[in-house]
Structure formats: C-alpha cells, structure tokens
C-alpha cells in the first residue's frame, strides 16, 4: 500500500471530471491511497504567472505548505498545476527570502503520468491488466508542460518523450510514432482566442489521422478539453470530419484493468469513444 497526498486542482471538479474519477479508480485498483489536501486552493494557473510573479509563487506555495504538514509525496494530476508547483518549489528553495510563505520545498511533487510510468508502478499495472487493449492504435500526446521546461519537469527526452508510449504498450495498445507529441494545442487561450485553439488543434487532429491513430491519449486537462470538445466546429471550419476520441491515460488504464465505471467516464466525452472501443471489441 502506497500513500500520497493528493491535490486534485480546480478542473478535476468540473470540465475534467472523468480524469479525477478514473485516476481515483486506478489508484484504488493499484492500492495507492490518496489523501486529498484539506482546504486546498487554486494554484494560480496561467493567469497568475501572466500577471505577477509573487502572486504566482505564493498561491502555489500555499498548497505545497499544506502538503509539507502531511509529509507525504504530493500527487498532482493536472499538468498546469504541476508546472506551477515545481516552479514555486524551485523559487522557494533558491530564493527563500523573496517570498512570503512557510513552504520550504521539502515535499516531493509527482505528476500523475510520471508517477504511473515509474518502473515499480508499471510492474503493478502489468499484473492487473485483464483486458489487453489489442488492436487499439493510440497517439500519445504529451503537450507542453508535462515535458517542458526540462529543468522543471526533469524529463530528459523532452523533444521526443516515450514514457507514456511505454505505458500504453504495456496495456496492450499499440502506441504509434508521430511528430506532434509535444506540440501546443493552444492551451490557456481556450476561452479567449478560440480561433488560435482551433487552428492548432486542427493540425494535431490532422497529424493524428495521417499517422493512422484511432485516438489520442493525454495527461493534460487543457489539451483534452481543447481537442475533445471542438472537433465538430474544427471540422466545419477546415472542411474535414474528425472523429478521434481523446482519452486521459488513466481511462485507458482503467479499461485494461477492468474497472467497472469506465462507461461513466466515457459518457462525459464530447467526441464519443464508445463506438471505437466497440469496434475493437474492448467494451460491451
């Protein structure tokens, strides 16, 4: 039994609900116990770091200070929160005099994807796979902040990462090679410059199709929302038809490990994944 502190982040209460549900489901199956931080608050996200540095560091550090009280490693599913936490950690370690916080940067911060891609966890996952995802061609989409900047993420292959690919192969799926693993989807412009989001997302969907991916898999809440929810309008704008389900990696883990709630998670997608999974005989 492994125990971690858990910071869900704001999106997992709303637009990325299925990420939170599937993450908790998978953790239960792997006997990873999560202790949600009591009274956690928003990490500040893009808006804080675009507005003021101290605001960005101190809003994030407040949550890290809560985690330090618990002493456990901190699991963070949203990569935007993760990036803010790691940046705050670096700052309070290097320039403690600059910031008003009790946080000392002592707790190990784990991004959920990195956590599950660690060798010991991969072993545990392998043992639990009851329904290999054979015949499913997945494009692993890492996006920006899960790999960049590498002095924050610690990812060595930041231009061509392969850790999620390894996880997908272990689940029995076929991870496909493609060149757009770490290209930006438009991220935080999702409510403001939707024209940019549509153009960037269209290129990703088009490249996924060219690489003959059945679906894309991600660990980023903004990537999932941008790619999943706008396929219809992107199709209309660019004279194409896209029907490429966008999964959270935890959903495919749950599917391969036989979690009973998968259909509820999938019902929250706007680009329906059930049809694809039925055609591959992976869901009833």
Partner 1 sequence: MKDTKSEMGSTGLRIAGNGEAIDPSFPDLVGQRSGENFLTCYQCQKCSAGCPVAYAMDILPNQVIRMVQFGLKEKVLSSNTIWICASCYTCSVRCPNDIDIAKIMDVLRHIAFGSGIKAAERDIPIFHSVFLDSIKSKGRIHELGLIWQYKTKTRDFMKDAALGWRMVRRGKIKLFPSKFGGGREIKSIFRRYEKGR
Contact positions vs partner 1 (CB under 8 A): 10-11, 13-17, 39-42, 44-55, 58-59, 62, 100, 144-145, 148-150, 158-159, 183-184, 186-189, 191-194, 196, 199-200, 229-230, 233, 267-270
CA dist 193 and 201 (Å) reads 13
Minimum Å distance from CB 61 to partner 1?
9
Residue 216's beta-bridge partner residues? 139, 246
Torsion from C-alpha of 258, 263, 264, 269, nearest 10 degrees = 120
Nearer to partner 1, 43 or 109 (CB): 43
Nearer to partner 1, 81 or 168 (CB): 81
Minimum Å distance from CB 217 to partner 1?
19
Minimum Å distance from CB 32 to partner 1?
24
Minimum Å distance from CB 27 to partner 1?
21
Nearer to partner 1, 51 or 134 (CB): 51
50 burial level (CB within 10 Å; 0-12, 13-18, 19+): exposed
Minimum Å distance from CB 152 to partner 1?
9
Nearer to partner 1, 146 or 175 (CB): 146
Minimum Å distance from CB 231 to partner 1?
11
Contact call for residues 229 and 270 (beta carbons, < 8 A): yes
Which letter, b or e, does each residue of 154-175 get, where b requires 16 or more Cβ atoms within 10 Å of its Cβ? ebeebeebebbbebbebbbbeb
* Residue 37: closest CA among 79, 3, 67, 73: 67
CA dist 173 and 85 (Å) reads 32
Nearer to partner 1, 11 or 175 (CB): 11
Minimum Å distance from CB 185 to partner 1?
9
CB count, 10 Å around CB of 1?
6
Q: Specify the length of the chain in residues.
A: 284
Nearer to partner 1, 45 or 74 (CB): 45
CA dist 244 and 126 (Å) reads 26
Nearer to partner 1, 50 or 130 (CB): 50
CA dist 217 and 213 (Å) reads 10
């Amino acid at each position: 039994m492994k125990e971690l502190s858990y910071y869900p982040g704001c999106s997992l209460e709303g637009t990325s609900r299925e990420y939170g549900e599937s993450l908790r489901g998978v953790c239960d199956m792997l006997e990873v116990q999560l202790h949600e931080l009591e009274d956690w608050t928003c990490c500040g996200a893009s808006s804080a770091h675009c507005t003021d540095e101290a605001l960005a560091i101190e809003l994030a550090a407040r949550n890290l200070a809560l985690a330090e009280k618990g002493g456990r490693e901190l699991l963070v599913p949203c990569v935007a929160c993760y990036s803010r936490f790691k940046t705050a950690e670096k700052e309070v370690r290097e320039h403690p005099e600059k910031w008003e916080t009790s946080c000392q940067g002592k707790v190990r911060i784990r991004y959920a994807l990195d956590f599950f891609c660690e060798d010991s966890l991969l072993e545990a996952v392998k043992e639990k796979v009851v329904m290999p995802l054979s015949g499913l061609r997945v494009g692993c989409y890492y996006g920006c902040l899960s790999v960049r900047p590498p002095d924050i993420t610690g990812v060595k292959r930041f231009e061509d990462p392969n850790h999620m690919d390894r996880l997908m192969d272990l689940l029995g799926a076929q991870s496909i090679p493609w060149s757009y693993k770490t290209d930006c989807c438009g991220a935080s412009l999702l409510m403001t410059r939707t024209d940019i989001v549509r153009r960037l997302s269209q290129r990703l969907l088009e490249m996924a199709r060219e690489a003959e991916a059945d679906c894309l898999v991600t660990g980023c809440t903004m990537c999932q929302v941008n790619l999943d929810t706008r396929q219809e309008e992107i199709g209309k704008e660019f004279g194409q038809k896209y029907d490429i389900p966008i999964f959270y990696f935890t959903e495919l883990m749950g599917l391969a490990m036989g979690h009973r709630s998968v259909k509820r998670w999938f019902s929250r997608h706007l680009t329906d994944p059930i049809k694809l999974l039925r055609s591959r005989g992976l869901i009833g």
